[in-house]
Structure 1
Amino acid sequence: MHDKLNIMKRLLFLLALFILLMSFVLAGFTEVIAALKAGNSSALARYFDNTVEITLPQKNSTYSKSQAEIIIKDFFTNNPVKNFKVLHQGEKGGSQYCIGTLETSNGNFRTTLFMKNKGDKQSLQEIRFEN
């Protein structure tokens, strides 16, 4: 009976630890999603890695953090954001991804985000806006 209690305590501890770790993983996405909903390029740029791969309907390239912010700001200026809806998000091998729909004045864009843990923070490494 005592062994079963110890096993249950360990399982409960591991479950709590897993939930805590997942809340940190999703916390970065929560702020990124809020930035997308607001069309706020500077808030989004706080999560950019040193280089960011950006896919837009007419171009696809890798940019420095500062260049990426300008590209995203221009995209949001030309496509005023109405909303962002998450369709799916998950985690695999230390990387997180989110797929959603960015609703703008000029139509909807299927949006894919890829983040990776770097040290103690999450970095946005790739953003795709596809129509």
Structure 2
Amino acid sequence: MIRSLFIFLVAFIPISHLSAPQTDIVDDLSTFFKAGDSKNIAKNFSTTIELVIGDEEDVYSKLQGEQILKDFFAKFPPTKSTISHKINTNPNYRFGVIILNTAKDVFRVSVTMKKINNSFLITELRIEQVKN
């Protein structure tokens, strides 16, 4: 009796509860920023991205955006990243704020993502120096 009840209950546990939880894209991006990994960050770019670094602002291709980030990390090697804020309740939109500590300065990184073809892609990335 107990064995058949156990088998019955196990048969109706949703498989999704047994799999590992999916990480949030903002968590992944924070890890990539800490590592200075422009390649993995750029994998999440939309075909074009609005990129703001300090006073420089423009719309770039995915490859141009990756190169600009690579140059940024060369100039400001990251030492730590912390997620300050994230919005992940909208099924078509994600937003995150990452505080990026570098060897020289601290930056506030704002990431805006939209769902495109069932994936969240970065449409806007802002990197602004934190004023003391």
Q: Under TM normalisation by the shorter chain, which class is it?
A: 0.7 to 0.9
Match of 2:125 in 1: 127
1:60 matched residue in structure 2 = 57
Structure 1 runs of 4+ with >6 Å offset: none
Q: C-alpha root-mean-square deviation of aligned residues, in Å?
A: 2.3
- TM-score with structure 2 length normalisation? 0.76
Structure having the larger proportion of residues in helix: 1
Percentage identity across paired residues of the two chains: 26
Larger radius of gyration: 2
Aligned-partner residue type, residue 121 of structure 2:
S
Take 2:56 and 2:112, find their aligned partners in 1: how far apart are those partners? 18
| Aligned 8 A contact 2:94 2:120 in 1 | no
Counterpart CA distance in 2 for 1:72 and 1:79 is: 10
Contact kept, 8 Å, 1:25 with 1:96, in 2: the verdict is: no
Residue segments in structure 1 that go unaligned for 5+ positions in a row: 1-19
How far, CA to CA, are the matches of 1:115 and 1:24 in structure 2? 21
Equivalent runs, 1:1-131 vs 2, <5 Å: 27-91=24-88, 92=90, 94-131=92-129
Count of equivalent residues? 112
TM-score (norm 1): 0.76
Query: Which residue identity does 2:63 align to in structure 1?
Result: S
